[in-house]
Chains A and B, each alone.
Chain A
Amino acid sequence: MKQDIKTEDAIRGQVHKNLPHESAQKHVSGQADYTDDTREPIGTLHAYLGLSDVAHAKLVDIDLNACLAMEGVVGVITAKDIIAPGYNDISANHLDDEPVFPTDEIEFLGQPLFAVVARSRAEARRAAREAKITCEPLPAQIDALEAKEAGYPYVAKPLKLERGDVIKGFAGATNRIKGQMRIGGQDHMYLEGQIAFALPGEDEDMLIRTSTQHPSEAQHMVAQVLGIPSHSVTVEVRRLGGGFGGKESQMNIFCVVAALAARKFGQPVKIRPDRDDDMTATGKRHDFVVDYDVAFDEDGVIAAVEGDFMARCGYAADLSGPVTDRALFHADNAYFYPNVLLRSHPMKTNTVSNTAFRGFGGPQGVVVAERMIEEIAFALGKDPLEVRKANFYGDAGRDLTPYHQQVEDNILPRLIEEMEAKSDYQARRVDILTYNAKANASHGLCRKGLALTPVKFGISFTATHFNQAGSLIHVYSDGSIQLNHGGTEMGQGLNTKVAQVVADAFQVDIERIKITSTTTEKVPNTSATAASSGSDLNGMAALDAVNQIKGRLVAFLCEKWDVAEDEIAFLPNRVKIGEKLLSFDEVIKQAYLARVHLSAAGFYKTPKIHWDRDKGQGRPFFYFAYGAAVSEVTVNRLTGEYVIDRTDIIHDVGKSLNPILDQGQVEGAFVQGMGWLTTEELWWDKDGRLRTHAPSTYKIPLASDIPRIFNVELAEWSQNAERTIKRSKAVGEPPFMLAISVLEALSMAVASVADYKICPRLDTPATPERVLLAIDKLMEKGRCDG
């Protein structure tokens, strides 16, 4: 058998190289299918949720006769359709606090109470408004602080992190500041809203096509509510039109209701809420009220920190436990606290149950650390950067986190040094101080601010058991490869990166590899694609599967051609067997004929990590990702409006699997973080009605909001000290917190009106309104003091 062997030097789709998103061409031509684009079988019905109109009430009666009388309506789904007792629950933690539909108590305004099923979505939506709900209103607590005062319980077990002795730390310090910070929540505003499509099969089978970050959980929830084993439910996800944490647990209600309706009516059922209902009925980033207390010496070195983190969790736990935990894990950001005591208060409130959102509580912790730095700087008349540097983690004795994990891989000093130089921080700060002084002296309209902030972010799910992943790889006899893994593609480029890993391991061109939809049929018991873990976990699991198949191929080749293992090498699109070269296709064909198993299920679990939550000690994180940003802003002191003039970023992704995709994550995360801290305001009225419930009222950044000059680079010299996939680091969440540089720059601009002597204590989001009120407060204080 004679064959021309191509002898390329390299494959297409190597790791560490730029490669476009696998769906880019389909995205731009409108040919990428999202769940709502799937062809509907004849007879498809549409469900629509009916939402509560009150925040807290005893539920007396739901009369749906008027709904049933509407045109096109086929029927309704209520709690009564959940047949077996104990199955009316979709709580992510199995706490039984999150019913599909409540039976006796309404706990937030917008809570789903029932669903109408009709021939068209428009008919179902219209009919759902006709319900007659009878209920007896109860007092409602919307705000976390008020809920605490009213004696509301925690929705989850609080966490305490403690190290050193805070009492001694405070007693021995020369300076001490106590303050409070309100940190706003954030809506995910994924462009594709929640959606689920249930197709009933034979027996009890149910296929769900949906847009979730957590197919396995959706599968388990549907099985639970239908009272059937998980083996009868398949959840399939091709891609998400954005997730950001908002489709980790929040998709469950939609999957479950579609499945209930599909079961009841024996027809395919699709459910897709309108944007307003989506925003009203699904959880968001937790807003926090944080009381902090910090002691420090004359050089600004922190001696002790105490913090109480109160979060508006909403009516049920959902992921509030781990979210509030992570707020504490990141309340140190990059700083060593010699004595520290941090407590979480996951407050129940009569609002929608808050959930995961990029950073998962981490940003709320980091922003408090940066607030304390500011407080110290303004109290001592120092540049906040100086205070930051004085408090970074360091060598032995200054390397333990509040959760007793040692910071072993601290590359921040080098990162900060580079950032400071590249951004020309010192010279620009001098210019800005001069500019502001002149403006103060001459009724100037504008003030400027400049800030450099660091990020240190712990990578791993803090619930250790989630740090596992699976994959399934088939090599077909024609040499084509099908790749399945448990992660979901939501724009981050996970499929591209994992395919690069597989292409690289087999040394074949990436076009040979097809990544299928994520489905619970291929890989079971997956974790959510969350906690930035997608590439770390699924990349490793895929590599494991490749290695199994390669191992079998090598054994076969050794035997067949009588060579030693080390004489076999996988070269680009070909295999070297001793002196012989065979194309990859030929090797696969031969292996098939010789009955070699060409399919493998891969698995990975993160090593080294452990966490004792009761003690508040352990190593919850496999490693840390780092970054630094410098932002400059100009503020109008008459309106509070501002422009972000420039942002420079250096971010650490280890040895990147795909630098251009990682850069996209850094840019995107920064802008999303900027939105969280500037214009994205969630506003509830006194009745508990969210009044910012659509893009008309809830303002995420536009193209014109991003920094006028925006320089983003990856720390190319970095590689992960731990043995992660190709020494890369996770990138999804850490750069989100680089946006805190914008908040700190705004704060400096505001502080300038009182000569940087008073900390403006800007709450977030720092809307033009909050900025102006802070300016006015400082000017009034300045007048009183001066």
Chain B
Amino acid sequence: MPSIRKDIRFWLNDELITLDQCSPTETLLDYLRLERRLIGAKEGCAEGDCGACTILVGRLFQGTLMYEAVNACIRFLPSLDGCHVVTVEALKDEDGGLHPVQQAMVDHHGSQCGFCTPGIVMSLYALWMTNPEPGRCQIEEALQGNLCRCTGYAPIIRAAVAISDYGSPLSDWLERERKTNFKRLIDLHDGARVVLEAEGKRAILPANLDDFSHVRLEEPHATIVAGSTDVGLWVTKEIRDLHTLIFIAHLEDMKAVICSQSHITIGAGVTYSEAKQAMSGYFPHLDAFWTRIAGPQIRNMGTIGGNIANGSPIGDMPPVLIALGADLVLRKSWEQRIIRLEDFFIDYGKQDRWEGDFVEAIRIPIPAPDSLHGVYKVSKRRDEDISSLCAAFYLGITDGLITKARIAFGGMAATPKRAAEAERTLKGKPFTRETMLAAADCLPLDFQPISDMRASADYRMRVAKNLFEQFWHDKQGTMPLEAAE
């Protein structure tokens, strides 16, 4: 049993904050604005979609201190234990004037009404720290989580290109103080379990993975909070009362990515941003897909495990992982239960869960060398949108014939689901356009999608079918949409 600490501690700009009376569901944004009067971060949507509240969170990861842009509006205070929060108020250049990012924005007329601007500055700052000479695509990627309604973004992009004309990240104040801040965070990591009680609510931050499994057993009805990109909205949008919350985003042993000869096992706490890094070598077909998931702020918080555990029929990861034949590792106390991921989703809002268990990891077989992969997310807006539908293809081909087929869809049913009939018709056939079109024609046997604000049933079915042809096209070496001349 680890020692227990009854407060949370984090650095806010240059100040050490210790809180023992905060509500476990108080958002960082409210804390900054209402209690600290740091008003640079704004509330635009309170759901992590507009980016007006963007701030940086520095955290220790694999022995280094890394700073990431996150949404303060859906970030609960306890999750900041052991972190360094950096707000726009702390930005400065070497002489205490405007920071290079800020000066570039002024000189390129990147603000009009100015309400989104502090958030944009923070997103560009996060980009510039890791990539001082970003290209257009990287800038757009960094801004996927920031809405601006005035400028049309053109002057912001021009500013982003020019930041390095105003200074180098090497002489940036946060870089110069990195050692100090690193040590500060190391000093905060005492290996204790944190139990914070206030206003009749309780936040528990387990000391490590094993401690989490104990806590989970003791508190089987507690809400597990990883990135809070979903749970955050339960509070800010649905005003749900959550009494006991177990925070797990800080658990480095849930972020392990382990490769064996047959499998890659991804800890449930791995964020999208971390997964992109860790999985790129094994699943190159996902490289473009990662950046279709939300914006950087959400990718820096949201976890693969959370995306599965919340059971959404439109989650981005389940179709991808089901097509790859992934298993889910569920853990209760010391006991592990491994099930096929597709079996986890029983019905809308219903998953195969045991009381006191949690999603520990996802185990993905290493794909056969002659297999074909594709993943497609179709949405109203290309970036930072929830899919109208999502499709993932896995075809095993032996001697020119399709021997294995796993095709999974999101947004087509109450759960992420495989296209069983379509898969069956593919088996034993050559990989041709005609074969794919014939399989596509079976989709109405597999799915009866619904109409909602994202898409009509008609559109969902048409596109689902067409994606079979799209996949065939892409495997012929024809150009995908984005690369089209």
A191 and B149 contact, Cβ closer than 8 Å, known pairs A30-B89, A641-B481: yes
A191 and B147 contact, Cβ closer than 8 Å, known pairs A25-B98, A275-B45, A704-B141: yes
With a CB–CB cut-off of 8 A, which chain B residues contact A769? 380, 388, 455-456, 459
Q: Does A242 contact B (CB under 8 A)?
A: yes
Q: Which of B52, B109, B118, B462 contacts A24 (CB 8 A)?
A: B109
Q: Does B242 contact A (CB under 8 A)?
A: no
Q: Are A667 and B478 in contact (CB under 8 A)?
A: no
Q: Does B31 contact A (CB under 8 A)?
A: no
Q: Does A670 contact B (CB under 8 A)?
A: yes
Q: Are A191 and B52 in contact (CB under 8 A)?
A: yes
Stretch at the interface among B327-335, B392-400, B467-475: B467-475
B335 CB → nearest A CB, Å? 37
B308 CB → nearest A CB, Å? 20
Contact with B along A534-578 (1 / 0, CB 8 A): 000000000000000000000000000000000000000000000
Q: Are B149 and A704 in contact (CB under 8 A)?
A: no
Q: Are A638 and B470 in contact (CB under 8 A)?
A: yes
Interface residues of B in 73-117 (CB under 8 A from A): 87-89, 91, 98, 101-103, 105-107, 109-117
B213 CB → nearest A CB, Å? 33
Closest A residue to B139 using CB positions? A703
Interface residues of A in 484-539 (CB under 8 A from B): 490-493
Q: Does A37 contact B (CB under 8 A)?
A: yes
Stretch at the interface among A9-17, A348-356, A692-700: A692-700
Bound CA–CA A701/B140 (angstroms): 12
Q: Which of B30, B107, B237, B433 contacts A20 (CB 8 A)?
A: B107
With a CB–CB cut-off of 8 A, which chain A residues contact B113? 190-192, 239-243, 490-491
With a CB–CB cut-off of 8 A, which chain A residues contact B462? 772-773, 776
Bound CA–CA A639/B433 (angstroms): 17
A772 and B114 contact, Cβ closer than 8 Å, known pairs A37-B39, A191-B148: no
Q: Does A147 contact B (CB under 8 A)?
A: no
Closest A residue to B241 using CB positions? A126
Q: Are A691 and B452 in contact (CB under 8 A)?
A: yes
Closest B residue to A279 using CB positions? B45
Q: Which of A39, A188, A275 contacts B46 (CB 8 A)?
A: A275
B114 CB → nearest A CB, Å? 3
Q: Which of B44, B155, B385 contacts A192 (CB 8 A)?
A: B44
A710 and B114 contact, Cβ closer than 8 Å, known pairs A24-B109, A695-B50, A704-B383: no
With a CB–CB cut-off of 8 A, which chain B residues contact A75? none
Q: Find the residue from A20, A241, A685, A691 having the highest chain B CB count within 10 A.
A: A241
Q: Are B482 and A24 in contact (CB under 8 A)?
A: no
Q: Which of A189, A702, A706 contacts B154 (CB 8 A)?
A: A706
Q: Does B246 contact A (CB under 8 A)?
A: no
Q: Which of A240, A275, A493, A705 contacts B381 (CB 8 A)?
A: A705
With a CB–CB cut-off of 8 A, which chain A residues contact B384? 702
Q: Does A768 contact B (CB under 8 A)?
A: yes
Q: Does A34 contact B (CB under 8 A)?
A: yes
Bound CA–CA A667/B116 (angstroms): 17
Closest A residue to B102 using CB positions? A28
A426 CB → nearest B CB, Å? 19
With a CB–CB cut-off of 8 A, which chain A residues contact B69? none
Closest B residue to A665 using CB positions? B112
Q: Does B445 contact A (CB under 8 A)?
A: no
With a CB–CB cut-off of 8 A, which chain B residues contact A768? 378-380, 388
Bound CA–CA A241/B113 (angstroms): 5
Q: Does A31 contact B (CB under 8 A)?
A: yes
B407 CB → nearest A CB, Å? 16
Bound CA–CA A239/B484 (angstroms): 43
Interface residues of B in 140-165 (CB under 8 A from A): 140-141, 143-144, 146-157
Q: Does B42 contact A (CB under 8 A)?
A: yes
With a CB–CB cut-off of 8 A, which chain A residues contact B102? 25, 28-29
Q: Are B151 and A667 in contact (CB under 8 A)?
A: yes
With a CB–CB cut-off of 8 A, which chain B residues contact A189? 147, 149
Bound CA–CA A241/B143 (angstroms): 19
A295 CB → nearest B CB, Å? 35
Bound CA–CA A636/B148 (angstroms): 27
Bound CA–CA A493/B109 (angstroms): 11
With a CB–CB cut-off of 8 A, which chain A residues contact B40? 29-31
A703 and B156 contact, Cβ closer than 8 Å, known pairs A25-B106, A695-B45: yes
Number of interface residues of A (CB under 8 A): 85
Q: Does B364 contact A (CB under 8 A)?
A: no
Contact with B along A749-786 (1 / 0, CB 8 A): 00000000000000000011100110010000000000
Interface residues of B in 433-477 (CB under 8 A from A): 433, 452-456, 458-459, 462-463, 466-467, 469-470, 473
Closest B residue to A673 using CB positions? B152
B273 CB → nearest A CB, Å? 17
Contact with B along A167-206 (1 / 0, CB 8 A): 0000000000000000000001111110000000000000
Q: Are A639 and B466 in contact (CB under 8 A)?
A: yes
Bound CA–CA A342/B456 (angstroms): 34
Interface residues of A in 631-673 (CB under 8 A from B): 634, 636, 638-641, 643, 660-661, 664, 667-672
Q: Are A445 and B89 in contact (CB under 8 A)?
A: no
Q: Does B49 contact A (CB under 8 A)?
A: yes
Bound CA–CA A188/B102 (angstroms): 27
Q: Does A125 contact B (CB under 8 A)?
A: yes
Interface residues of A in 617-639 (CB under 8 A from B): 634, 636, 638-639
Q: Are A445 and B140 in contact (CB under 8 A)?
A: no
Q: Does B47 contact A (CB under 8 A)?
A: yes
Q: Does B375 contact A (CB under 8 A)?
A: no
Contact with A along B29-53 (1 / 0, CB 8 A): 0100100011111111111011010
Q: Are B473 and A702 in contact (CB under 8 A)?
A: no
Q: Are B151 and A696 in contact (CB under 8 A)?
A: no
Q: Are A638 and B467 in contact (CB under 8 A)?
A: yes
Bound CA–CA A443/B47 (angstroms): 42
Q: Are B112 and A492 in contact (CB under 8 A)?
A: yes
A192 and B42 contact, Cβ closer than 8 Å, known pairs A638-B470, A683-B453: yes
Q: Does A423 contact B (CB under 8 A)?
A: no
Bound CA–CA A284/B312 (angstroms): 31
With a CB–CB cut-off of 8 A, which chain B residues contact A639? 376, 378, 463, 466-467, 470, 481
Q: Does B386 contact A (CB under 8 A)?
A: yes
Q: Are A703 and B157 in contact (CB under 8 A)?
A: yes
Q: Are A28 and B117 in contact (CB under 8 A)?
A: yes
Q: Are B381 and A446 in contact (CB under 8 A)?
A: no
Q: Does B350 contact A (CB under 8 A)?
A: no
A445 and B481 contact, Cβ closer than 8 Å, known pairs A671-B153, A695-B50: yes
Bound CA–CA A27/B112 (angstroms): 8
Bound CA–CA A776/B466 (angstroms): 11
Q: Does B1 contact A (CB under 8 A)?
A: no
Q: Does A274 contact B (CB under 8 A)?
A: yes
Q: Does A726 contact B (CB under 8 A)?
A: no
With a CB–CB cut-off of 8 A, which chain A residues contact B452? 683, 691
Q: Does B170 contact A (CB under 8 A)?
A: no
Q: Does A21 contact B (CB under 8 A)?
A: yes
Q: Does B382 contact A (CB under 8 A)?
A: yes
Q: Does A59 contact B (CB under 8 A)?
A: no
Q: Does B121 contact A (CB under 8 A)?
A: yes
Besides the known contacts A695-B47, A702-B383, A703-B156, 8 further A-B residue pairs in the complex with CB atoms under 8 A apart: A21-B109, A21-B114, A29-B88, A193-B44, A445-B481, A491-B112, A664-B150, A712-B154
Chain B residues in the interface with A (C-beta under 8 A): 30, 33, 37-47, 49-50, 52, 87-89, 91, 98, 101-103, 105-107, 109-118, 121, 139-141, 143-144, 146-157, 236-237, 239, 376, 378-386, 388, 433, 452-456, 458-459, 462-463, 466-467, 469-470, 473, 478-482, 484
List 23 A-B pairs, Cβ < 8 Å: A21-B109, A23-B114, A25-B106, A28-B106, A30-B41, A30-B117, A30-B121, A34-B115, A39-B37, A191-B149, A192-B115, A274-B236, A275-B47, A443-B433, A443-B473, A641-B378, A667-B151, A694-B45, A702-B147, A703-B157, A705-B381, A710-B154, A773-B462
What are the nearest 9 A-B pairs in CB distance? Answer: A30-B40, A491-B113, A241-B115, A27-B114, A671-B152, A491-B112, A695-B49, A638-B466, A699-B381
